[in-house]
Structure 1
Amino acid sequence: MELNPGVPAMLCLGYDTALEIMRRPETFSKDPRHWRARNEGVLPEGSYAPHIIRPRPQVDFVDGEEHRRLRGAIEDTTGRIDSAALRNYVERIADSLIDQFCEAGEAELIGTYCALVPIMVSSQLFGCPQEIMDQLLRGVASFIDGSDPSGGDRTSGAALRELIDLKRREPGADITSWLIAHPARLTDEELIEQLLLLIGMVTGVVPGLIGNSLRVLLTDERFSGELMGGSMLVEDALDEVLWTDPPVANMGLYFPVHDTNLAGKRLRAGDAVMISFAATNRDALLRSPHKQGNRAHLAFGAGPHACPGRSSARLIASVALEKLLDRIPDLVLAGEIEELKWLSGIFVRGVITLPVRFAPVARPGGRLTSAPPARPGEPDQRQDLPAGAPPPPPIPPISLPFATDAASEGEALMGPGPELEQQAEDRQKQQSSLLGFLNRWRRAR
Structure 2
Amino acid sequence: MTSPHQPGATPPPGCPAHAVPPPEAPQTPAQPDPHAPLKLYGPDFAADPHRFYRHLRQYGALAPVEIAPDVTAMLVTDYRAALDLLHDDSTWSKDSRAWMQTVPADSPIMPMIGWRPNVFFSDGAAHARYREVITDSFRLVEPHELRARTHQAADTLIQRFGKDGRVDLIADYARLIPLLMFNGLFGMPDSYSERLIAAIAGMLEGNSPEEAAAANEEFTTCIMELVGAKKAARGPDLTSWFMDHPNELSDEELVHQIILTMGAGNEPLANLIGNALARMLSDDRYYNTLSGGALTAHDAINEVLWHDPPLTNYSAHFPLRDVFFHGTWLRAGQLVMVSYAAANSQFGTTTLDRPGSGGGSHLAWAAGPHACPVKRHALLIATTAIERLTAWLSDIELAVDHSELVWRNGAFHRALAALPARFTPITPDQAGATPWHNRDSSPSSSTRSEQISTERRPASAS
- TM-score, normalising length from structure 2? 0.75
After TM superposition, the structure 1 = structure 2 runs for residues 390-401 of structure 1, keeping only pairs within 5 Å, are: none
> Given the alignment, which residue of 114, 128, 137 partners 2:174?
114
Distance 2:294 2:155 in 1: 17
Q: Does 1:221 align with 2:284?
A: yes
3-state SS of 1:48 partner: coil
Paired letter, 2:272: L
For structure 2, the residue ranges without an aligned partner over 5 or more in a row are 1-64, 440-452, 457-462
The answer as to whether partners of 1:132 and 1:162 remain within 8 angstroms in 2 is: no
Distance 2:90 2:179 in 1: 37
Distance 1:299 1:65 in 2: 25
TM-fit CA distance, 1:228: 2.6
The answer as to whether partners of 2:150 and 2:384 remain within 8 angstroms in 1 is: yes
3-state SS of 1:254 partner: strand
TM-fit CA distance, 1:230: 7.2
Paired letter, 1:69: R
TM-fit CA distance, 1:88: 0.7
Partner of 2:402 in structure 1?
337
Paired letter, 2:372: C
Paired letter, 2:146: L
After TM superposition, the structure 1 = structure 2 runs for residues 363-374 of structure 1, keeping only pairs within 5 Å, are: 363=428, 365-366=429-430
Task: Answer with 306-315 or 9-18: which moved more.
Answer: 306-315
Q: Does 1:257 align with 2:257?
A: no
Mark the CA change 1:64 to 1:202 in structure 2 (over 3 Å): closer, same or farther.
same
Paired letter, 1:27: T
Q: Percent identity?
A: 37
Q: Does 1:126 align with 2:186?
A: yes
3-state SS of 1:59 partner: coil
Mark the CA change 1:110 to 1:285 in structure 2 (over 3 Å): closer, same or farther.
closer
> Given the alignment, which residue of 73, 78, 81 partners 1:14?
78
Distance 1:158 1:302 in 2: 31
Distance 1:285 1:34 in 2: 37
Q: Does 1:276 align with 2:333?
A: no
Mark the CA change 1:152 to 1:106 in structure 2 (over 3 Å): closer, same or farther.
closer
Partner of 1:196 in structure 2?
259
Q: Does 1:347 align with 2:412?
A: yes
Distance 1:232 1:308 in 2: 27
Mark the CA change 1:8 to 1:177 in structure 2 (over 3 Å): closer, same or farther.
same
Distance 1:338 1:212 in 2: 14
The answer as to whether partners of 1:110 and 1:354 remain within 8 angstroms in 2 is: yes
Mark the CA change 1:23 to 1:178 in structure 2 (over 3 Å): closer, same or farther.
same
Q: Does 1:326 align with 2:326?
A: no
Distance 2:255 2:92 in 1: 26
Q: Does 1:301 align with 2:369?
A: no
Task: Answer with 160-169 or 10-19: which moved more.
Answer: 160-169
Mark the CA change 1:321 to 1:132 in structure 2 (over 3 Å): closer, same or farther.
closer
Partner of 2:66 in structure 1?
2
Mark the CA change 1:394 to 1:22 in structure 2 (over 3 Å): closer, same or farther.
closer
TM-fit CA distance, 1:164: 0.9
TM-fit CA distance, 1:194: 0.9
TM-fit CA distance, 1:226: 2.5
- TM-score, normalising length from structure 1? 0.78
The answer as to whether partners of 1:9 and 1:272 remain within 8 angstroms in 2 is: yes
Distance 1:260 1:97 in 2: 51
After TM superposition, the structure 1 = structure 2 runs for residues 1-400 of structure 1, keeping only pairs within 5 Å, are: 1-35=65-99, 38-39=100-101, 41=102, 43-147=103-207, 148-229=211-292, 233-284=296-347, 290=354, 293-363=358-428, 365-366=429-430
The answer as to whether partners of 2:156 and 2:435 remain within 8 angstroms in 1 is: no
The answer as to whether partners of 2:108 and 2:213 remain within 8 angstroms in 1 is: no
Paired letter, 2:67: L
3-state SS of 1:152 partner: helix
The answer as to whether partners of 2:180 and 2:193 remain within 8 angstroms in 1 is: no
Mark the CA change 1:110 to 1:15 in structure 2 (over 3 Å): closer, same or farther.
same
User: What is the root-mean-square deviation of aligned Cα atoms in Å?
Assistant: 2.6
Mark the CA change 1:318 to 1:394 in structure 2 (over 3 Å): closer, same or farther.
closer
